[in-house]
A and B are shown apart, each in its own frame.
Chain A
C-alpha cells in the first residue's frame, strides 16, 4: 500500500484555488478553537439566506449576549465575520468553500497529533485499480495510516463514499495493514446516523466523526 498525489483535472485546479484561499485556513483555525455552539452558528451562517451580522447575533444570544466572556464574544465575532464572508461568495462558490473548510478543519485537527497530514491523496494497493477520487485528508503513518472523507452535511453521505472507504479498509487488511477509515461530517451526529441507517453500503469498519465530537480528531484516532 502506498499514497500518491492525485492527478488534477480542470475542476480540481479550480478547487485547489479555493482550498488555497487564506479565508479557508483562517475559518478552519477559528472552528478548530470553537465551542459546539459556535460551530452551529458558523454552520447556520454559512448556510444562511441573510448576511447581516446583527441578525446572526440576535439568533445566538448565548454567544453574543450579555452572558459570555469578552474573550468568547470576540472569538464568536471573528468566526461570524469569516462565516459570512463565505456566505457572501454566492451559492455555487460557497458550496465549494464549505467543503474546503471542513477538509482544512479536519487537517488542522489531525495535525495536532500527527506531522504527516496530507490532502487529495490516492491510496494504491497491489493489484487493485486506483480509485478515481482521492481521499480528502490522509495521515500517512507507515504503521497505522488514516484516510478521511469530509462532508459539509450528512446529506453528502452516499454509497460511493462508503464503498470507497470500505474498499480501502479491506484492501489494506489484505496487505495486513490496519488502516483507519472515517467520515468527517460537519453536521449533527444524529443526522449522519439517520443517513447511514438507510444505506445498504458497508460501513461497519468506517468511523463517523460529527460536529459534536470533531475535536477528538486532534487527540486520538476515531
Chain B
C-alpha cells in the first residue's frame, strides 16, 4: 500500500468514527446517513489520484484526524461531517464534490 492509500484509509476510518458519534443524535440520523453515504466514498476515491502527494499532506491529514478524534459532542460531529472531507481533499489535492471547489 502506498502513502496516499494509507492516508486515505486512515482518513476514512476516522470519518466512520465521526459518523458513528454523529448518528447518536436520533433526529438527525437520516441526515448523518445521507452525508456519510455521499462523502465516505468520496474520501475513499482520493486514493485513486495518480498525482504525487502534495507537500505536507501527511501531517495535514494526521492533524485533521486528530482534530475530529477530539470531538465528543455529537452535534459538533455533525458540523464536521461536511467540513472534514473538504479538509482532507485539500490536503491530498483532490475533490469530494464531484467537481472543482478550489
A interface residues, Cβ below 8 angstroms from B: 35-37, 40-41, 43-44, 47-50, 55-56, 58-62, 65-67, 153-155, 187-191, 194-195, 197-198, 211-212
CB neighbors of A among B63-102 (8 A): 63-64, 67, 70-71, 76, 78-84, 86-87, 90-91, 97-98, 101-102
B interface residues, Cβ below 8 angstroms from A: 28, 30-31, 34-35, 38-39, 54-57, 59-60, 63-64, 67, 70-71, 76, 78-84, 86-87, 90-91, 97-98, 101-102
Main secondary structure of the interface of B (DSSP, over half): helix
Max chain A CB contacts within 10 Å: which of B34, B59, B79, B87? B79
**Beyond A188-B97, A190-B97, is A153–B79 a contact (Cβ under 8 Å)?**
yes
Max chain A CB contacts within 10 Å: which of B30, B59, B98? B59
- A64 CB, min distance to chain B CBs, angstroms: 9
Residues of B near A47 (CB, < 8 A) are 76, 79-80, 83
Residues of B near A191 (CB, < 8 A) are 35, 81-82
Residues of A near B38 (CB, < 8 A) are 190, 194
Q: Is the CB of A44 within 8 A of B87?
A: yes
Q: Is the CB of B102 within 8 A of A36?
A: yes
**Beyond A190-B97, A194-B31, A195-B31, is A62–B82 a contact (Cβ under 8 Å)?**
no
Among B35, B39, B56, B81, contact of A61 (Cβ-Cβ < 8 Å): B56
14 A–B contacts, CB within 8 A, in A order: A36-B102, A40-B83, A40-B87, A44-B67, A59-B67, A62-B54, A153-B78, A153-B82, A154-B82, A155-B28, A187-B83, A190-B38, A190-B82, A190-B98
**Beyond A44-B87, A66-B55, is A58–B63 a contact (Cβ under 8 Å)?**
yes
Q: Is the CB of B31 within 8 A of A155?
A: yes
Q: Is the CB of B63 within 8 A of A62?
A: no
Q: Is the CB of A50 within 8 A of B35?
A: no
- A29 CB, min distance to chain B CBs, angstroms: 22
Residues of B near A67 (CB, < 8 A) are 54-55
